[in-house]
Each structure stands twice: as structure tokens, then as C-alpha cells.
Structure 1
Amino acid sequence: MSTFKLLYFAAASTYTGRDHDDFPAPVKASELFALLEDRYPGITHKVLTTCAVTVNYDYVDLEEADAALVLGQGDEVALIPPVSSG
């Protein structure tokens, strides 16, 4: 089965209780947040609205992502919540 890996950091890891998940591929990048909301109800409001997203180490804006952007076999996606410093 083809999969991509989704890495969780900080608040995303706390919310899911995991540091990563493997999801079936392919998936349109624009559908990622809906997929996560199905698996972790409430994550959109609590975490995703403030997260940056990377695909294979490149930042992407899922709201402006090209409709052709597909998460495929072996891709690594990361959810990176904002980091505060003090």
C-alpha cells in the first residue's frame, strides 16, 4: 500500500498523542486538513488554523496550493505549530 508520512510537532503532537501517522496515498494536499479532522475531531480549530505545513521540507500554503499538488508515496509532510520565544 502506498503511504505518505505526516509528522506532528509541539501542539499537533500533544493533540494527537503521536509524533507521526502514515496515511494512504495519493491524497490531494488541499484535502489534508479534512482528512485530519476526520481522524482527530476538533484538530482544525485547536491546532491546524495556526500551523505551517511542509511537504518534503518545502513550506506550502494549503489554501493556495495548486490543485495538482498531490501527496504521494514516500512524501514527508509536517505540521509545524507556531513557536514562541522569550
Structure 2
Amino acid sequence: MRCQVSVLYFARSAELAGLRSETLSVPRQITSGQLWEEIVKVHPRYSGKLLPRLAVIRDQVVFAVRQEYVLLGDQLLVLQPGDEVAIIPPISGG
């Protein structure tokens, strides 16, 4: 079974996705790694590059699902319709 979630993009992820938010249909029960793959596959590849745009930040990104941090990996998520999934790449400052 699938549900609609709001995906929010911040910083570099927004630049790569070309938008700040969107609604996606994803499986209700999914690992955080599988959720990342669902999100990545809806965005086109760079012209002439093999990787989808968002794939370049995979090792640097953290999710926030319902405002709780989630690392990419095998963590099982049980999503509800309307949940927010924030894509948070590293943010530098000084």
C-alpha cells in the first residue's frame, strides 16, 4: 500500500532537485534507504552523467520524518498520508 508524503528539500538538495517541496507516492512501510531511492528516482539525471542529481549527496544527507532525524539505511519507517519528509544535507557555517 502506498501513501502521499510531502518531501521538503533544503540547501544543496533543493538546488539539485530544482524545487523546495513536492508530494510523492511511496510505500507506507519502507526502509529509510529505500525511501531515499524512491525520492532519487523521480529526479532526472544530469546531462551526460550516469547518476541522478540527488545521488551525489547520498552519503551526506539526513532525513527528518515527522520532525525526527533518521539516518539512511535499514531503519523501517511506517509512513502515514501527509507525513513530511525533509531532506537535510550538511550545512556549513562559520
Q: TM-score, normalized by length of structure 1?
A: 0.81
2:13 corresponds in structure 1 to 12
1:33 aligns with 2:36: yes
**Residue 2 (structure 1) shift:** 4.1
Aligned-residue identity in percent? 30
AA of the residue aligned to 2:12: A
| Structure 1, unpaired ranges of 5+ | none
Deviations 1:29-65 (A, max 9, x none): 4311111221122412x12320111001100123141
Residue 70 of structure 1, CA deviation: 2.2
Which sections of structure 2, spanning at least 5 residues, go unmatched? Answer: 44-51
After superposition, what is the alpha-carbon deviation per residue over 1:5-38, rounded to whole angstroms, capped at 9, x for unaligned? 0100000000011001101142514311111221
Greater than 3 Å deviation, 4+ residue runs? none
For the structure 1 residues 29 and 23, does the alpha-carbon distance in structure 2 shift closer, same or farther, using more than 3 Å as the test? farther
1:59 is matched with: 69
Partner of 1:82: 90
Letter in 2 for 1:83: I
RMSD: 1.9
Number of positions where the alignment pairs a residue of Structure 1 with one of Structure 2: 83
User: What SS is found at the alignment partner of 1:37?
Assistant: helix
Does the 8 Å CA contact 1:27/1:72 hold for their aligned counterparts? no
Normalised TM-score (structure 2): 0.75
